[in-house]
Amino acid sequence: MGYIEKNIKDIREDFPILSRPGFIYLDSAATSQKPFVVLEKMDWVYKNLNANVHRGIYKIAEDITEEYERSRKEISGFINASESEIVFTRNTTESINLAAYMLLQKLKRGDRIVTTLLEHHSNFLPWKKIAKIAGLNLELVKVTSEALIDEEDFEKKIENAKVVAFTHVSNVAGTIVDVKRLARKAKERGAFVLIDGAQATPHMKVDVSNLAVDFYVFSGHKMLGPTGIGVLYGKKDLLEELEPPFTGGEMVKEVHKDGQSWNDVPWKFEPGTPNYVGSIGLAEAVRYIKKIGIDQIETYEKKLSEYLLENVGNIKGLRYAGPKNNRAALLAFEIKGVHPHDVAAYLDMKGIAVRSGWHCAQPLQEELGFSNGTTRASLYFYNTFSEIDKLRTALEELVNIV
């Protein structure tokens, strides 16, 4: 037995919401639950240390600034980046939009952007938007019927591409993409590479120093942190070179009527008062994850994932999206003759929280032939094998009713 299995009871007690009687939370891909330490830390900051960050001369203004920058250090260490490479945003979506607007200055009419059919809408629509603004061509790499990136098509499309953006882990199919290898291929062709790590950083070790990427993005709220804090990791040289697309306070050194000088990186990309309490909360979440051990999380979730597939994946009349192995601990599926919302409503009656619909990845689901969308159960390390059993029992009951 691994660390998590041995301590699962204590771990669950760290999460206040998990003590709700009869509540089975299987929607962590949408957002994770939060442990006491994160909530208490943020509460403590608001009660004892609240002042706007940067430039205050009084004591707590200096203390909060130090705490804020310490949170950046903690988070940068978690993905093995340097502090100056961590730009705080609201979430993955804002990070991708920001990166797209940053890259806009490097692109010209006719240039090609490549993303894939595996993407969440947030790694598709921002590219579509800047393509429209600047007259760029956007191409989507195909996926196989098991929702793996079609590598032949990938090789073809990245040729001469200026930007290549793809996900690390699919939020619908659970596909774990070999980002190390694919990013290198794209980088070798001279493209800017962005990886959507929203479903990866909560669950597995990510080391950006080991990846040929220019940008790596993720959301705090999916990894035990609060809502409203996300990260855009960018390579330092590139961040220094790029102009900030958005301007205002905090991001400048000097402003005169006829000119200004931008602040250093990463602050020049953080106009306005940042969500400092959020980033401090996220740093606390990172400490909590480190205490459990990201390797332990990865190992335990691998077992959950296999158990989920073996016990739920084979229910009669159920068809799931994605590969048969090496997948994240989530399962998006349809049940023959039952609308995905009805599946979710039935499970809700049993106290099981899942999500249904398009999961912000309509092109992928349509490609895979799920014309009404799917119902998705997504797990985190605080979930248990017995919760998967309960999911299976409820789904079997449902299949018998309809």
Residues acting as catalytic residues: 360
Whether the CA torsion 258, 263, 264, 265 is positive or negative: it is negative
DSSP E strands in 24-109: the ranges are: 24-25, 86-89
The DSSP code sequence of 134-166 is: HT-EEEEE-B-TTS-B-HHHHHHHHTT-SEEEE
CA dihedral 51, 57, 62, 68 (to 10 degrees): 60
The residue within the footprint of other proteins, chosen from 372, 390, 396, 399 (CB under 8 A), is 372
Helices 125-134 & 92-104, crossing angle to 10 degrees?
20
* Distance (Å, whole) CA 284 – CA 279: 9
Query: Counting contacts by CB under 6 A, is residue 171 touching ligand PLP?
Result: yes
**Looking at 10-18, 202-210, 300-308, 353-361, which segment touches other proteins (CB under 8 A)?**
353-361
Query: Counting contacts by CB under 8 A, is residue 121 touching other proteins?
Result: no
Nearest residue (CB) to other proteins, 43 versus 348: 348
**Looking at 32-40, 89-97, 142-150, 240-248, which segment touches ligand PLP (CB under 6 A)?**
89-97
DSSP E strands in 200-305: the ranges are: 215-219, 230-234, 252-256, 259-262
Instruction: Name the minimum Å distance from CB 149 to ligand PLP.
Output: 14
**Looking at 15-23, 95-103, 198-206, 346-354, which segment touches other proteins (CB under 8 A)?**
346-354
The residue within the footprint of other proteins, chosen from 215, 267, 288, 358 (CB under 8 A), is 358
The residue within the footprint of other proteins, chosen from 339, 353, 367, 390 (CB under 8 A), is 339
Helices 294-311 & 3-13, crossing angle to 10 degrees?
90
Query: Counting contacts by CB under 6 A, is residue 175 touching ligand PLP?
Result: no
Long-range contacts of 368-374 (CB under 8 A, 24+ apart): 368/143, 368/145, 368/147, 368/173, 368/321, 370/321, 370/332, 370/334, 372/334, 372/339, 372/340, 373/334, 373/340, 374/172, 374/320, 374/321, 374/332, 374/333, 374/334, 374/340
Nearest residue (CB) to other proteins, 174 versus 340: 340
Query: Counting contacts by CB under 6 A, is residue 374 touching ligand PLP?
Result: no
* Distance (Å, whole) CA 61 – CA 306: 49
Interaction with ligand PLP in 130-159: which residues (CB under 6 A)? none
Residue 358 partner contact from ligand PLP, other proteins, none using kind-dependent CB cut-offs of 5 to 8 Å: other proteins
The residue within the footprint of ligand PLP, chosen from 120, 157, 268, 376 (CB under 6 A), is 120
Query: Counting contacts by CB under 6 A, is residue 356 touching ligand PLP?
Result: no
* Distance (Å, whole) CA 327 – CA 307: 12
Query: What's the gap between Cα 140 and its chain centre?
Result: 20
The residue within the footprint of ligand PLP, chosen from 14, 27, 85, 196 (CB under 6 A), is 196
Instruction: Name the minimum Å distance from CB 345 to other proteins.
Output: 6
Nearest residue (CB) to other proteins, 234 versus 373: 373
Residue 122 partner contact from other proteins, ligand PLP, none using kind-dependent CB cut-offs of 5 to 8 Å: ligand PLP
**Residue 202, burial from CB neighbour count under 10 angstroms (0-12, 13-18, 19+):** buried
The residue within the footprint of ligand PLP, chosen from 167, 275, 374, 375 (CB under 6 A), is 167
**Looking at 102-110, 127-135, 195-203, 328-336, which segment touches ligand PLP (CB under 6 A)?**
195-203
Instruction: Name the minimum Å distance from CB 171 to ligand PLP.
Output: 3
Query: Counting contacts by CB under 6 A, is residue 116 touching ligand PLP?
Result: no
Query: Counting contacts by CB under 6 A, is residue 365 touching ligand PLP?
Result: no
For residue 37, how many C-alpha atoms fall within 13 Å in the half-sphere facing its CB? 15
Query: Counting contacts by CB under 8 A, is residue 60 touching other proteins?
Result: no
Nearest CA to 208 out of 190, 185, 233, 229 is that of 233
Query: Counting contacts by CB under 8 A, is residue 342 touching other proteins?
Result: yes
Interface residues with ligand PLP (CB under 6 A)? 29, 91-93, 120, 122-123, 167, 171, 196, 198-199, 219, 360
